[in-house]
Structure 1
Amino acid sequence: MRKVDQYLQNAQTQREPPTMRRKGLHRGLARMTSAGAMPPSPPDRSISQDSQDSMEDYWSEVRNIEEDSQGLLEEMMEKGSIDEAELEEAWLHEAGLSTLVSGALSDSPAEALLSTLTRSQAAMVKKRLDNYTQTLRKRNKQPIRHVRDVFSTTDASSAEPTQTGSTNGPITPILPHWTPPKGHQSCPVFTPVESGVSECQSEPNILSFEVPYSEGATAHRKGRDCLDCQRIWKGDKDLPTFQIANPKHGLTRVQDLSSEDIKKISYISLIELTTFYDALGIELKRNRVVRSKVRETGIFGVPLATLLENDQKKFPGSKVPLVFKKLLSKLEQTGLQTEGILRVPGSASRVKHLRQELEAKFYDDSFDWEQVRQNDAAGLLKMFIRELPYPLVTLQHLPAFTAAQNITSYKHQLQALHLLILLLPEANRDTLKALLEFLRKVVAFEEKNRMSLWNVSMIVAPNLFTFRGKKAKQEEMQAAAGAAHLVRLLIIYQDLLWTVPCFIISHVRKMNEASVTKKTPSSERTKRKLLRRRNTDREKERSEVTDLREGVIRVQAPLHAKISMAIQLDSKTKARDVMARFDFENGQASRNSSRKQKHFLFEVGGNIGERCLDPDTHLLEVYRMNPHCEWVLKSRTT
């Protein structure tokens, strides 16, 4: 049995009966993918007359873009043929599984990631890996060494028998199947869906963060009476109100996690998105980014990462390009109540002149913002977005955003967008979030600026999603309405989309736990020394508490006068209770409430890198889920 196949097969077969396991991975894959192979038909939803009338806004914006772009956007697309093997290799690399094709699996992050996959996720990885290998064989026209052969050796002395009990070939250890961490409880509002019944049938407006979306999509395809797919949404006011339950272990937003854990979330999100689309019968395509020369200085046409690197030299910690923030601030101050803001273009000559001045004077603080009119600022903002050398939603994932338009269920459209947002690079995600927060403010002033949600979406869509090639008029109409609809979902549900699902957090915890078990003996010795030193310090602290029982945590607060406090947890203790207690005992409650810097409780270490806890988090649940973490009270900008 070869090593890579064994890892993937173990994840698939853990929940299957022994008779099913003996039939092999490929036969199981054929059965899993045989039902519902046809992709879903596009959603049949009508739009209101006002929405149809506002389509002209879309085409007007497209004409403006065509006049300004002068064909520059076309240079981003690959001119030659696309090598499928390269695309598969890029997928494996982005999913954190590059060692499957380029190096040893042992002690790599890929090994920890593979150990957390669900059965359907493991099947998808196997499918992509096989496709990569087969494509290489066709291209080379000769037998090549399969990737699984690279990892055929293993240490038999430490291995356990395989699940099939085969004695042929090397024996490999069985990795545990993905399960929620100890103490992980499902949200009480979510009830299991009966076999063969779509998740949409029972609770069409409830989003479950506890179960991978791909699992719910499989049930959805088997169902025939999905209420969400049958509905006709006629306008902005008819959009469904989706609800999410607040789990006892707390909601987690992207900004609440450490950079290392966010990287793991990106790996898991790509695997889950690919599995999710496959379950819906949608082919997930990718664009290959052409590495061309780009500007390294200036404002417009400069990559986001380069802009932020330049900005952080002046303002450390910047997460959104300074010029972008300044344009948004200018529009919020003077443009929210301006009729037709975003829709009515400014003077072309004036915008061109302002652009030149921004390029020359922005970084030396000599640019006069008082000369910028509201509509000119809106024009500069849209110009900045569309002239990025790579789209804000990234070129490689642009087809996945486009494919989301054809999903028949609003719930599944939202879930697809959710995974795509988590896939974006940090700079793109933060900049998109700043844009969406501004657009929500524009819509809030609809009575003054005459810009409805649909109007705003129609204007922004062609700047975010570019559709190339000649199409029939009907296809163009569908593309325009579909792109605007995605922007509409992004604006309305942005708070939900920037929340990390519980099942992905569970993946991260399992990955961290698996990584810890693979540490070298030397690192274990170092760890023991650190633990002995830490235990000595803790013994001194425990002398202050006469009865340190199970469920008692010690919260560190280095920025407070009282830097440490032991707290007995019960089922009702929340993070906000601990925060309030420290503020009360240090006399800082009134001062903190008026500042942007506020204190939050963090879960640090154990099976998580670092997580800022939501104030409504029940600490006993986190304690059971991560008993070896530290509890730290730290300041954070709100």
Structure 2
Amino acid sequence: MHVDVNFYDILHHVDSITAQDSKGQSSPTEEVPLPETDINLEISFAEQASNVKEFFLQSENEKEDDTLLPNYRLPQDKTGITKIGDLAPQDMKTVTSLALIELTALYDVLGTELKLQRTAKVKVNETGVFRVPLSVLLEQDQKKVPGTKVPLILQSLISLIEKGGLNTEGVLRIPGASSRVKALCQELEAKFYEGTFNWDTVKQHDAASLLKFFIRELPLPLLTVEYMKAFHSVQYLPTKKHRLQALNLLVILLPDIHRDTLKALLEFLQKVVDHREQNKMTLKNVAMIMAPNLFTDHTSSLKGVDQGAVTSAARTASIMLFMIKYQKLLWTIPKFLVAQVRQHNIVSQKKNVKEKAMKKLLKRMAYDREKSEKAEKSLADNDKPQGFIRVQAPQFSKVSMAVQLTEDLKAGDILARFLNQESGSSMTLTREEVSLYEIGGNIGERCLEDTTYMKDLSQLNPHAEWVIKPKPKE
């Protein structure tokens, strides 16, 4: 890889400017606790916005002090909260389509233009560590570590800082020496995939600069070309609730590799904030430092340092702050979208049944099926009385169990029963490795949180199957 010395000087200068802008800043959000506010995920965000007539007045008041952030919380949902990653790919594809429709409607109601742009064809590196598209990195990394979802270089940099740098004063804020960062980039390009790079020689501030460099120099931005302007425009939405709702939908819309990488980055940044007493890096500091790396076009730095561009990027710190503070909410799929997926599946199933080919097949199989169903119904009536569900657990020695539905029975209770049955056996799966899944009926597949009330969910999806199986590896 050809390395431009001047480019690394620019890189160092950009870090220095941002560091100076954020040095000594305090964050009232961490000093003024606000009451908790429930966030409504059951009703369409656009519908909520259209029903709140006073939100324009509210928005003017909010803009006077953008540092006071509510403590949003998710209200208890008896049918379970759905996180990104809980749904089957076909259901997630439907969620993505619905999220784009919802985002468009929300921006329209709020009178804000939603700008999406196509990804232009750009020449990119097909090998290496830096300035390589996430999709190419993932393909390379999965050859070394199957199942990898986040680039190994980013994992390595985060791991290094977490081991020894979270307590380092000014971590992320104080840039590493430009000459060392330049040399480390060259060495990583040559040795990272060979496994011969010596991480013990990397200083914490240099590692932080490398991390920011990696994110900033992605040829296809972490927030993607298509949605970058939409992320930018979040800062102009009238209320904090609307900004949070828009960010939630935008995170859902990101491609898997971009979303997984963003999640790893935000979780790391929260850990930095959690150590603010030692490292003097408040939420506001971290947001100001990281915003230019996510929201600035990586090619602009090659043309020289534009103070106006840096200042403009700094204004996106409020969006960065939201993404760090509310990251758990952002990875939640709103209940109204999941409900639309269920309805979509019901309609699709009805259409399939009406197809001529299916009708002919059903006619040919009608007699045999009727006999089979009568036999199965007889067995089911004897084996699974009304008010019970049959839970399958292929990985366990007790592969099936009839479970009586009660008002307070939760998914976690069912898991506990199976695990108790396995205590003392050779079964090696732990509570953290398995989940109860809702499969079929009006959903493709959905991983259930332990607090899901099973009677309520079985009424919502009476034709589902219930299966205990390992969670996908993160």
Q: Same fold (TM over 0.5)?
A: yes
- CA RMSD, aligned part only? 3.3
Query: Is residue 395 of structure 2 the alignment partner of residue 564 of structure 1?
Result: no
Q: Which AA in structure 1 matches 2:447?
A: C
Residue aligning to 1:511:
344
2:423 to 570, 587, 604: 587
CA deviation map 1:124-178 (0-9, x unaligned): xxxxxxxxxxxxxxxxxxxxxxxxxxxxxxxxxxxxxxxxxxxxxxxxxxxxxxx
Residue aligning to 1:230:
61
CA deviation map 1:467-506 (0-9, x unaligned): 7799xx9987984453101111100100011000000001
Output the CA distance in 1 between the equivalents of 2:209 and 2:411: 44
Residue aligning to 1:522:
357
Q: Which AA in structure 2 matches 1:425?
A: P
Output the CA distance in 1 between the equivalents of 2:424 and 2:445: 25
Output the CA distance in 1 between the equivalents of 2:60 and 2:425: 49
How many residues were matched structurally?
439
TM-score, length basis structure 2: 0.84
Please say if residues 55 and 239 of structure 2, whose CA atoms lie closer than 8 Å, have aligned partners that are also in contact.
Answer: no
Output the CA distance in 2 between the equivalents of 1:406 and 1:534: 61
Output the CA distance in 2 between the equivalents of 1:307 and 1:347: 26
1:328–1:541 Cα change, 3 Å: farther
1:486 to 304, 319, 332: 319
1:64 to 14, 20, 30: 14
1:218 to 50, 58, 69: 50
Q: 1:225: Cα distance to partner?
A: 7.2
Q: Which AA in structure 1 matches 2:444?
A: G
Output the CA distance in 2 between the equivalents of 1:275 and 1:381: 36
Output the CA distance in 2 between the equivalents of 1:545 and 1:483: 61
Residue aligning to 1:209:
41
SS across alignment from 2:261: helix
Map 1:196-275 onto structure 2 (within 5 A): 205-220=37-52, 222-223=53-54, 227=58, 229-231=60-62, 234=65, 238-275=68-105
Q: Which AA in structure 1 matches 2:47?
A: E
1:283 to 110, 113, 129: 113
Output the CA distance in 1 between the equivalents of 2:77 and 2:288: 36
Please say if residues 415 and 431 of structure 2, whose CA atoms lie closer than 8 Å, have aligned partners that are also in contact.
Answer: no
1:343–1:524 Cα change, 3 Å: farther
Map 1:619-638 onto structure 2 (within 5 A): 619-636=454-471, 637=473
Residue aligning to 2:167:
337
1:365–1:223 Cα change, 3 Å: same
Output the CA distance in 2 between the equivalents of 1:63 and 1:531: 78
Q: 1:410: Cα distance to partner?
A: 0.5
Please say if residues 545 and 566 of structure 1, whose CA atoms lie closer than 8 Å, have aligned partners that are also in contact.
Answer: no
2:435 to 587, 593, 600: 600
Residue aligning to 2:28:
none
Output the CA distance in 2 between the equivalents of 1:214 and 1:506: 16
1:591–1:474 Cα change, 3 Å: same
Residue aligning to 1:550:
386
Output the CA distance in 2 between the equivalents of 1:428 and 1:355: 22
CA deviation map 1:424-465 (0-9, x unaligned): 001100100000000000001111111111110011000001
Output the CA distance in 1 between the equivalents of 2:466 and 2:360: 24
Structure 1 stretch displaced more, 275-284 or 599-608:
599-608
Structure 1 portions without partners, runs of 5+: 1-59, 68-202
Please say if residues 161 and 208 of structure 2, whose CA atoms lie closer than 8 Å, have aligned partners that are also in contact.
Answer: yes
Q: 1:550: Cα distance to partner?
A: 3.0
Residue aligning to 1:114:
none
Please say if residues 61 and 462 of structure 1, whose CA atoms lie closer than 8 Å, have aligned partners that are also in contact.
Answer: no
Residue aligning to 1:399:
229
Structure 1 stretch displaced more, 619-628 or 409-418:
619-628
Q: Which AA in structure 1 matches 2:448?
A: L
Structure 1 stretch displaced more, 507-516 or 384-393:
507-516
Residue aligning to 1:11:
none
SS across alignment from 1:257: coil
Output the CA distance in 2 between the equivalents of 1:335 and 1:540: 61
Q: Which AA in structure 2 matches 1:384?
A: F
Output the CA distance in 2 between the equivalents of 1:409 and 1:330: 38
Query: Is residue 330 of structure 2 the alignment partner of residue 380 of structure 1?
Result: no
Residue aligning to 1:308:
138
Please say if residues 292 and 314 of structure 2, whose CA atoms lie closer than 8 Å, have aligned partners that are also in contact.
Answer: no
Please say if residues 205 and 411 of structure 1, whose CA atoms lie closer than 8 Å, have aligned partners that are also in contact.
Answer: no
Q: Which AA in structure 1 matches 2:189?
A: E
Map 1:611-622 onto structure 2 (within 5 A): 611-622=446-457
Output the CA distance in 2 between the equivalents of 1:610 and 1:402: 34
Output the CA distance in 2 between the equivalents of 1:588 and 1:316: 32
Output the CA distance in 2 between the equivalents of 1:402 and 1:293: 25
Please say if residues 384 and 390 of structure 2, whose CA atoms lie closer than 8 Å, have aligned partners that are also in contact.
Answer: no
Q: 1:383: Cα distance to partner?
A: 0.8
Output the CA distance in 1 between the equivalents of 2:106 and 2:123: 35
Higher relative contact order (CA 8 A, sep 6+): 2
TM-score, length basis structure 1: 0.63
Output the CA distance in 1 between the equivalents of 2:246 and 2:424: 43
SS across alignment from 1:397: helix
Paired-residue identity, %: 44
1:370–1:477 Cα change, 3 Å: closer
Q: Which AA in structure 2 matches 1:497?
A: L
Please say if residues 457 and 484 of structure 1, whose CA atoms lie closer than 8 Å, have aligned partners that are also in contact.
Answer: yes
Please say if residues 555 and 564 of structure 1, whose CA atoms lie closer than 8 Å, have aligned partners that are also in contact.
Answer: yes
